[in-house]
Structure 1
Amino acid sequence: MTDAPQAQGPERSRSSETSQTLSRGLDVLALVCASDTGLTPAQIAAELELSRTIVYRLVGTLVEHRLVRRNADGLLSAGLGTLALTQNFAPTLRQGSHEILETLAEELGATAHLSIADGDEALAVAVVEPRSTTFHVSYRPGSRTPLELGAVGQALLAARHGERKTFASEGKIVAGACGIVASLPGISGLACALGVVTLAGTDTAGWDARVRAAAVELEALLNQ
């Protein structure tokens, strides 16, 4: 009697109740979507510890469903079909983050926001303004700013590199406003940052710790 073959590499952690083929296909898709430059089948095979034959078969299926695209240079990148999978993602982020942002906004008397990296821009997907203040900075959901500007961009770049950091800036995006933003490096496949923006000159002592705590809380919630 021989022992059943044991899965190698990443496959060892798979639950017996999951589909191995589907899991492998999703691993390939996640790896391709996380690459800024594109990947070759050989690179995917090496990273996931799979044979090239398996990778070619999985890639063929993903290409057929427009989830992966074969570029002219032979590299594989995310296909247009992935847009359909993410079209309701922003509303999910808004709903999941609202209570945490609302609490933060009321506690600090500042506008709280959640942003994600979209290419080389920061995209505000959720914004909650405080109700208890006479004056505060208005921040519109859907606003876009270059990643190289301000604390939001710095935090999103840190999240992309798996770094948990907090940043502060003043007048970089809006004159007369200052912001404190924390990165959320634990959201797989997505660079997120949570922060607050307020009027320049406001006493923000201790705010960085509160923003960090809110970011950790939201990260745990989104990973449930």
Structure 2
Amino acid sequence: MARGGETSQTLDRGLRLLHLVADAPGGLTVTEAANRLGIGRAAVYRLVGALAGHGMLRRDSDGRLRLGAGVLHLARRAQPLLAEGALPALRDLAELAGATAHLTVVEGGEGVALAVVEPSWTSFHVAYRTGARHPLERGAAGRAILAGRAGAAGPVATSGELQAGAYGVAAPVLGVPGLEASVGVVALAPLDVETVGARVLAAATAIAEALG
């Protein structure tokens, strides 16, 4: 029977392998995974066998390691919890900015609106629905996520990239392991980037603390 330390090491390696595969759009070979983990190929094969048995990893027709459907199942189960944790900060942001606030996460290489809150006191605001998808290269939410990947925490502002006449300001949610996300607002009128940007940054920090 494996001792506690050995079991913890195996679990750590398995989780690191999942993260490596998740960060490799083209998948990884067993050799590449072994080199990045600093372990032998035989150990990687054992990890792959265990993770594949739970649907977390699979091997494609070229033998490259890719995420399995089990990861999607876990992600879908976790998403409502993420949305619930973000709602208080989103409500405050929507009311303070007078604009529709949203939490956007990465799914399948796109940005997906996971939670949306509309302000209660404005006559007109953007109708932004939960589940809306868009390329990361378009719109403040996606661009903020890309900025976060590059280590930038500041707000990103765009106009008309996803909807004509719409203005957005967003910032990445940083410091939550395994989560790529942004928080932002979208409005039908130009936004004061300095003022709204500060509020968006505060919301991003609050959400990171709530989810971290």
**Aligned residues, how many?**
209
Structure 2 counterpart of 1:6: none
Question: Which residue, out of 197, 208, 214, partners 2:186?
Answer: 197
Query: Which SS does the other structure have where 1:123 is aligned?
Result: strand
What pairs up with 1:25-104 in 2 under 5 angstroms? 25-104=14-93
Alpha-carbon distance in structure 1 between the residues aligned to 2:194 and 2:18: 43
Q: Which runs of 5+ in 1 are unaligned?
A: 1-14
Q: Describe the SS at the equivalent of 1:22.
A: helix
Output the TM-score relative to the length of structure 1. 0.85
1:122, 1:152 → 2: CA distance?
7
The code of the aligned residue for 1:184 comes to: V
State the percentage of identical aligned residues.
47
Match in the other structure for 2:115: 126
Task: Pick the aligned partner of 1:171 from 156, 160, 184.
Answer: 160
The structure whose Rg is larger is: 1
> Structure 1 residue 147 and structure 2 residue 130: aligned?
no
Structure 1 distance, partners of 2:25, 2:86, is 27
Q: Is the 8 A contact 1:34 1:189 kept in 2?
A: no
CA contact under 8 A between 1:125 and 1:142: conserved in structure 2?
Answer: yes
Structure 2 runs not aligned, ≥5 long: none
Distance 2:128 2:197 in 1: 19
Q: Deviations over 1:39-74 (max 9, x none)?
A: 122222222222222111111111222211111222
Q: Tell me, what secondary structure is at the counterpart of 1:136?
A: coil
TM-score by length of 2: 0.89
Say whether residues 1:214 and 2:203 are aligned partners. yes
Runs of 4+ in structure 1 over 4 Å off: 15-18, 202-205
* 1:204, distance to aligned residue in structure 2 (A): 4.8
